[in-house]
Amino acid sequence: MLYLELLIQGLVQGGIYTLIALGLTLVYGLLRILHVAHAALFTLGGYLGVILTNATGSLALAMVLTMLVTGVVGMGVYRVAYQPILDKPPYVALIASIALFIASEEIYRLVFGPYGLSYDAPPLQGVIDLFGSGMYLKQAELLVLAGTGAALIGLHLLSTRTRIGIAWRATVTDPEMAASFGIRTQRVRYLNFFIGSALAAAAGVMVALLNNLVEPTMGSVPSYKALAIIVLGGIGSIRGTLIASLALGVIESFGTIYLGSLLDRDAIAFAFLILVLMWRPQGLLGRT
């Protein structure tokens, strides 16, 4: 029984990681930039989710608005932070991204206060009895699992059935060839950042639901882990990211119980990362 509960907890956590890491993978696959600032959009999503739900009383409306707004902000981040420095050595984008992320945490702290915000009337707090087994899953956790599934299906459909999705895949595989086919690289990039940021925002809303709290530093730990995940999952591979995210969530869940005396929870992710990289330097599913 315990194992099943741990597994499910792990999958829920893994779902959150997936939603965050997908955005990172999308950016890395396209631009080879480690978009550390991505976590700032996750936190923004959390804040907007709480504020809009409190203002409108509807979680669904808040979710949609939050994803849209954050998606647009994400596009702005690309335009302001990354586009000007694309041809500089890679450390420049990395440092700029880290700087942006730290600045965002500070801005959230200064604007919204260090103690965070909560929902006035937290939605989805009820529990569901899983298949009558006596195991309880919070409604919010169910939303995470459903949301992750929906996001993955949506991405799959987008990248295989729509023109812009196919254009995106082509650009990731071979940007020059794609451009010579007339694919507008700029559009693909903006779409990339829009989708990734919207997903991160959704994750932010859901985490805020799970904890009934949004605070300025809530993005830091998931962001570092998401970085570890995309390294594990291999270069820009969506499937790899999914597997690595879920694996990490489950490993943390079990690891905290069994390794808790040796390492704290967050270090487990990095111990896992380092071990895997020593074994396979290209990541779990990367190609050599």
In the complex, the residues that contact other proteins under the rule CB under 8 A are: 32, 34, 81, 84-85, 88-96, 98-103, 105-107, 110, 220, 224, 227-228, 231, 260-264, 266-271, 273-274, 277-278, 281-283
Quote the CA–CA distance of 25 and 244 in Å, as a whole number: 12
Contact 108, 47 (CB under 8 A): yes
Partner residues linked to 214 by β-bridges: 117
Residue placing its CB nearer to other proteins in the complex, 122 or 286: 286
Ranges assigned E (strand) in the chain: 127-129, 136-138
Residue placing its CB nearer to other proteins in the complex, 141 or 215: 215
Lookup: tokens for 25: 């993978």
Q: Report, in Å, the least distance between residue 271 CB and other proteins.
A: 6
Q: Report, in Å, the least distance between residue 33 CB and other proteins.
A: 9
Q: Report, in Å, the least distance between residue 207 CB and other proteins.
A: 20
Residue placing its CB nearer to other proteins in the complex, 56 or 83: 83
Q: Report, in Å, the least distance between residue 281 CB and other proteins.
A: 4
Contact 140, 206 (CB under 8 A): yes
3-state DSSP of 188-199: HHHHHHHHHHHH
Lookup: tokens for 115: 């103690």
Q: Report, in Å, the least distance between residue 81 CB and other proteins.
A: 7
Residue placing its CB nearer to other proteins in the complex, 8 or 271: 271
Contact 46, 206 (CB under 8 A): no
Name the phi and psi angles at 199, rounded to 5.
Answer: -65, -40
Residue placing its CB nearer to other proteins in the complex, 103 or 150: 103
